[in-house]
Structure 1
Amino acid sequence: MTDEDADTHEDLAWETLDEEVAYACPGFEIVHQDVRLPDGTETDFDYLHDEPAVVVLPFTPDGDVVVVEEWRQAVERVNRGLPAGGVEQADADVAATAHRELEEETGYVADEVEELGAFEAANGVTDAVHHYFVARGCEPTGEQELDFNESIQVDTTTLAELKAGIRDGDVPDARTALAVTYYELFG
């Protein structure tokens, strides 16, 4: 970034005048801000505050991908996708979260996990950051321990079938599509 770019970006910044949590529930908060735009206009802005999360692309020793079939109430259907979940205070780091979430949601344990990257889920409406991992050597040797509000069935598929599902619209989950695409491009 050049000095000119930095100056231009500074000219785009909004000033936060006041901030409060407008709504809180287990899992996320809605934050309300009073802001001043670069042209001096004062307005308000609301966004969803969400803690960091992980998304795991888990491979068995045979090269199959472990996937979950999970009910998603917001869209009122079963979603086929990858194991994912929030970082907890007890987790040593996001890699530990990836190991934990994989086992809790699927019962599979990974020999190793490697971070692919971290991405902002939808930065126009949320501050959520998802850390993407590839997990290798995944075996069903752990205990599936679902949260009280998780309805999950575990399956395996090939990477080719998962990619076809993404391409054909049968796997509309954006986290899964990003993980697979990023893995194919850079993994």
Structure 2
Amino acid sequence: MTDDGDADLTWQTTDSEIDYTCPGFDVRRDEVVLPDGTETDFHYVEEPPAVVVLPFTPDGDVVLIDEWRQAVGRVNHALPAGSTEPDDDDLAAVAARELAEETGYEADSFSPLFTVEPSNGLLNSVHHYVLARGCEPTAEQDLDFNESIRVAVTDYDDLLRAVLDGDVRDGRTVVGVTRYELADRWQRPGARTGAGDEGL
């Protein structure tokens, strides 16, 4: 949501460069002029858009992954997710690819849920959430060399309870499950098991 009245808050970018690059993301430095005329710089992480998949089996369970996360030093219980490639223009295809690579599951259909900017004070990340239905283990995992992942099929209500109790701390999973519960499950009774939406 934007407003023409935001002009008094807008920063002017006068220059922009990559200060550091590594597999997966860059650190960008923008030279900016603040609304009061102050000149300064601002660093942020730049990374490709990502797709986060909420995958339901035909029985209504959710296909999750247990993955080691080095930054926090523990195994993370989470929804499958992955970054887009430069030539990706079909979110359903990206969701299908990431779901198969991380879990070995394939879905009958995909439909969009919502899009968020998870931490736009530090990152330019955009996460596209996609609902997958009819997921079955009909593919083979194809993990990257630095991915340590175990598939964990979980009852939806157990997952929701773990999210609400704080046992699941992964931000993408908390956002995805609570948003699905509030908007899609409450407003459309058939959505609990992934029924009633049109595909992408």
* Aligned position for 2:28: 31
For 1:20, which of 17, 20, 25 is the aligned residue?
17
For 2:138, which of 134, 141, 158 is the aligned residue?
141
1:148 positional shift: 0.6
Aligned residues: 184
Q: What is the identity, as a one-letter code, of the residue corresponding to 1:15?
A: Q
Show CA shifts across 1:48-80 (max 9, x none): 001000000100000000010000011010000
For 2:4, which of 3, 6, 15 is the aligned residue?
6
Matched, 1:127 2:115: no
* Aligned position for 1:72: 69
SS of aligned partner of 2:40: strand
Show CA shifts across 1:4-42 (max 9, x none): x513x0111001111110000110000011111000011
Mark the runs of 5 or more structure 1 residues left unpaired by the alignment: none
Mark the runs of 5 or more structure 2 residues left unpaired by the alignment: 185-200
SS of aligned partner of 1:40: coil
Q: What is the identity, as a one-letter code, of the residue corresponding to 1:125?
A: L
Matched, 1:181 2:178: yes
- Taking the aligned partners of 2:47 and 2:86, their CA distance within structure 1 comes to 14
Matched, 1:58 2:39: no
* Aligned position for 2:101: 104
- Taking the aligned partners of 1:186 and 1:120, their CA distance within structure 2 comes to 18
* Aligned position for 2:187: none
Q: TM-score, normalised by structure 2?
A: 0.89
- Taking the aligned partners of 1:129 and 1:41, their CA distance within structure 2 comes to 29
1:89 positional shift: 3.5
Q: What is the identity, as a one-letter code, of the residue corresponding to 1:144?
A: Q
1:125 positional shift: 0.6
Q: TM-score, normalised by structure 1?
A: 0.95
Identical-residue share of aligned pairs (%): 59
